[in-house]
Amino acid sequence: MRSMGDARRTFILLSVALYVCSAISRKSTTIIAHRGSPCNFPEETLEGYQHAMSNGADYIEMDVVSTKDGALLLRHNLTLDDSTTIAEHPEFADRRWTRTLPDGRTQSGFFAVNYTLAELKTIYAKQAIAGRSQASDHGYRLRTLPEVLALAARSRSRGKPVGVYIEDKDPAFHESAGLPLEKKLVEALVSAGYKEDAGVAVILQSFEEQSLRKLSGLLEAEGMAGRAGLVWLLDCSANITDAQLDGFAAYGTGIGPEKSLVAPLVSAAECNRPAGAALCTAVASGQACTGRLASGASAARNGSASGAPLPAQRSVGLVQRAHQRGLLVHAYTFRNEERFMAVDFAGDPLAELTHYQQLGVDGVFVDCPSTAKEWLLATGQLSAGPSSWAGTIVSGPGPRASAAISAFSILVTLTVVALACGISACIKRRRRHRARYDLFPTDLFNTRDLNWYPPSDYRTAVVGNKGVADHEEDELPTSTAIMMTAIDSSPRAAEQQHKGPAGPPVNGS
Ligand SMILES: *C1O[C@H](CO)[C@@H](O)[C@H](O)[C@H]1NC(C)=O
Ligand SMILES: *[C@@H]1O[C@H](CO)[C@@H](O)[C@H](O)[C@H]1NC(C)=O
Ligand SMILES: *[C@@H]1O[C@H](CO)[C@@H](O)[C@H](O)[C@H]1NC(C)=O
Ligand SMILES: *[C@@H]1O[C@H](CO)[C@@H](O)[C@H](O)[C@H]1NC(C)=O
């Protein structure tokens, strides 16, 4: 009897090992959770990032701007108008500012550089994209880079560390305002333990190549050369030359093109707007309808009907040109709303993602990480079950190294699986009731946020201090912990809901 049990256990172990190995070696598209989960939550909030992590994103993506006192605030824009409640605060109105851009145009608004972090901690994040639920506006605070790095660090202890993908926003402007970003950004990574913990992926991204060079130098000076990937973002008007790609490939990891650089568009009757440069602007500002996919040949040869150059003529073979130089391609931005995709996809975000995968992109910036997860499952890039997610590696080794790594990973996996089975059997029963919860200290959240967890998605429970939601945040003992758990629901359904008003947390779950 006993030997039969052993044989069965061995068989199960081997099956699991083979399954894990195949999951590791199968290349799946890297999912970059663009500003957290702005489909579901206001962008760049802890809650949005947590949602992205729960949906297995490989990276959480964030943008850094400086406050007046030099704190690294997470916002995608120098101005706070479209993504925060600052306009509702009369006490801040007199610092509205207009600056002149290098090209002579002007930009007006509430600039983060004109307010201290303490001041900005009194306002709230709000939904920045028209048409998405605003139910949780006024629910979540603005966050700093260290706060979100601390959140990401918590995933390290849970087996699937999430990568961080950080953009320095308009670095030349910050430099000119005497608040340069690069050094502080690298220091924040060091403080958060990214220098030591080489198992966790970090990518730094910028539209300004000069800033990437600076970051590369700073990383080297910190003894972190190669520790963080560097990605050069290209907007839809970019026309990058082979020589520029060669220069960047000497130290960079990849390019981040706007998606119309990868799959060029032509104007479509449905869109009723001019092609060429105007089309490009339309993509950037998210106007309704972004055109029709150009067939490769006609895009390369023809240009638009009006004769204006199309992005197509600037970007023929961009993916191949990058890959030839060992650069990854991470395209942006994939959103669920029909107006952000070419009319060919008929509003189906999964079809759009598949098209770009077939064009060879290595990763995608997505607004809706739960849709990305649904897509990975639907296309066999991910097997069902939360524990089977295998994140992808930042920079790929050559084929021979890959073969060696595969062989090595089979050995390691067998050993690890054998060990893990033994250990997990011991601790499983004790920990089962905690398995679905994430624990956070209250200094990461504030109690007012508690009132705003959408009841359909999250149950919150407070342990250690009953009735805590009635207290002011300053009165909270720091030892109190908040438990949240995502309730399993069909990802797309969860995304398209969130229409109901926010309610109080369900206690005692
Ligand atoms: C566009 O390309 C097609 C072939 O793909 C060709 O027949 C046509 O003449 C081209 N038009 C222009 C304006 O170049
Ligand atoms: C930044 O916000 C302003 C509104 O203050 C908006 O006009 C502009 O398009 C935004 N820029 C980006 C890059 O999102
Ligand atoms: C905002 O900050 C910039 C950069 O520091 C400064 O030049 C400008 O005078 C400030 N504007 C206001 C209204 O405080
Ligand atoms: C892109 O750059 C190349 C070489 O630098 C140039 O020949 C070409 O005209 C440019 N194309 C557009 C559409 O700007």
CA of 302 to the centre of ligand 1 (A): 6
6-20, 169-183, 339-353: least confidently modelled range: 6-20
Whether residue 118 lies inside any domain: the answer is: yes
Q: Are residues 457 and 386 in the same domain?
A: no
**CB of 79 shorter than 6 A to ligand 2:** yes
pLDDT at 416: 80
**CB of 84 shorter than 6 A to ligand 2:** no
Output the residue whose Cα is nearest ligand 2's atom 6. 82
Ligand nearest to the CA of 310: 4
More confident residue, 497 or 192: 192
Q: Are residues 352 and 464 in the same domain?
A: no
Angle at 34 (CA atoms; ends 31, 37), nearest 5 degrees:
95
Token code pair at residue 87: 């306009």
Q: Are residues 459 and 345 in the same domain?
A: no
35, 77, 105, 235, best to mutate for ligand 2 pocket (most atoms within 8 Å of CB):
77
Output the residue whose Cα is nearest ligand 1's atom 11. 302
Share of the chain above pLDDT 90, in %: 51
Q: Can you tell me the mean pLDDT for 369-395? A: 70
pLDDT at 156: 78
pLDDT at 248: 98
pLDDT at 466: 37
Q: Are residues 358 and 323 in the same domain?
A: yes
**CB of 82 shorter than 6 A to ligand 2:** yes
**CB of 299 shorter than 6 A to ligand 3:** no
Whether residue 503 lies inside any domain: the answer is: no
**Is pLDDT at 452 greater than 80 in this prediction?**
no
CA of 266 to the centre of ligand 1 (A): 14
Q: Are residues 64 and 183 in the same domain?
A: yes
At 105-126, the pLDDT tens digits run 999 999 999 999 999 999 999 9
Q: Find the helix or strand (DSSP H, E) in which 5 lies.
A: helix 2-25
Whether residue 508 lies inside any domain: the answer is: no
- Where residue 280 falls among pLDDT bands split at 50, 70, 90? low
The structural domain count of the chain equals 3
Q: Are residues 167 and 37 in the same domain?
A: yes
Q: Can you tell me the mean pLDDT for 287-313? A: 52
**Pairing outcome for strands 328-334 and 363-366:** parallel
241, 260, 314, 315, best to mutate for ligand 4 pocket (most atoms within 8 Å of CB):
314
Q: Are residues 358 and 446 in the same domain?
A: no
Ligand nearest to the CA of 110: 2
Report CA-CA distances (Å) from 117 to 42, 49, 148, 190, 447.
19, 20, 15, 21, 19
Whether residue 505 lies inside any domain: the answer is: no
pLDDT at 73: 98
Whether residue 502 lies inside any domain: the answer is: no
**CB of 26 shorter than 6 A to ligand 1:** no
**Pairing outcome for strands 202-206 and 163-168:** parallel
Residues 6+ apart with CB under 8 A from 416: none
CA of 507 to the centre of ligand 4 (A): 61
Ligand nearest to the CA of 285: 2
More confident residue, 404 or 341: 341
- Where residue 231 falls among pLDDT bands split at 50, 70, 90? very high
Output the residue whose Cα is nearest ligand 3's atom 1. 114
CATH of the domain at 299: 3.20.20.190
Last residue of a domain, one of 372, 391, 410: 391
Last residue of a domain, one of 370, 391, 412: 391
At 57-102, the pLDDT tens digits run 999 999 999 999 999 999 999 999 999 999 999 999 999 999 999 8
Output the residue whose Cα is nearest ligand 2's atom 13. 77
Ligand nearest to the CA of 302: 1
Q: Are residues 339 and 301 in the same domain?
A: yes
44, 63, 76, 79, best to mutate for ligand 2 pocket (most atoms within 8 Å of CB):
79
Q: Are residues 91 and 185 in the same domain?
A: yes
Q: Are residues 193 and 222 in the same domain?
A: yes
44 lies in which domain range? 28-391
Summary mean pLDDT of the chain: 77
* Three-state SS annotation for 233-288: EECCCCCCCHHHHHHHHCCCCEEEEEHHHHCCEECCCCCCCCCCHHHHHHHHHCCC
At 462-499, the pLDDT tens digits run 333 333 333 333 333 333 344 343 333 343 444 444 44
245-254, 328-337, 454-463: least confidently modelled range: 454-463
Q: Are residues 12 and 80 in the same domain?
A: no
More confident residue, 334 or 342: 334
- Where residue 206 falls among pLDDT bands split at 50, 70, 90? very high
**Is pLDDT at 24 greater than 60 in this prediction?**
no
**CB of 306 shorter than 6 A to ligand 1:** no
CA of 239 to the centre of ligand 4 (A): 6
pLDDT at 72: 98
The number of helix segments (H) and strand segments (E) in the chain equals 18, 16
**CB of 175 shorter than 6 A to ligand 3:** no
CA of 106 to the centre of ligand 2 (A): 12
At 156-185, the pLDDT tens digits run 776 678 999 999 999 999 999 999 999 999
What is the rounded CA–CA span in Å between residue 229 and residue 452?
Answer: 36
Q: Can you tell me the mean pLDDT for 222-228? A: 93
**CB of 115 shorter than 6 A to ligand 3:** no
CA of 356 to the centre of ligand 2 (A): 27
CA of 290 to the centre of ligand 1 (A): 22
**Ligand 4 atom at minimal distance to the Cα of residue 313:** 13
**Ligand 1 atom at minimal distance to the Cα of residue 305:** 13
Whether residue 160 lies inside any domain: the answer is: yes
Angle at 297 (CA atoms; ends 295, 303), nearest 5 degrees:
85
Q: Can you tell me the mean pLDDT for 410-420? A: 80
Whether residue 458 lies inside any domain: the answer is: yes
**CB of 97 shorter than 6 A to ligand 3:** yes
Q: Are residues 216 and 325 in the same domain?
A: yes
Angle at 383 (CA atoms; ends 377, 385), nearest 5 degrees:
105
* Three-state SS annotation for 322-364: HHHCCCEEEEEEECCCHHHCCHHHCCCHHHHHHHHHHCCCCEE
**Is pLDDT at 230 greater than 90 in this prediction?**
yes
68, 69, 114, best to mutate for ligand 3 pocket (most atoms within 8 Å of CB):
114
Contact between residue 283 and residue 260 where contact means Cβ atoms under 8 Å apart:
yes
**Pairing outcome for strands 202-206 and 229-234:** parallel
**Is pLDDT at 448 greater than 90 in this prediction?**
no
Whether residue 509 lies inside any domain: the answer is: no
pLDDT at 317: 83
pLDDT at 418: 77
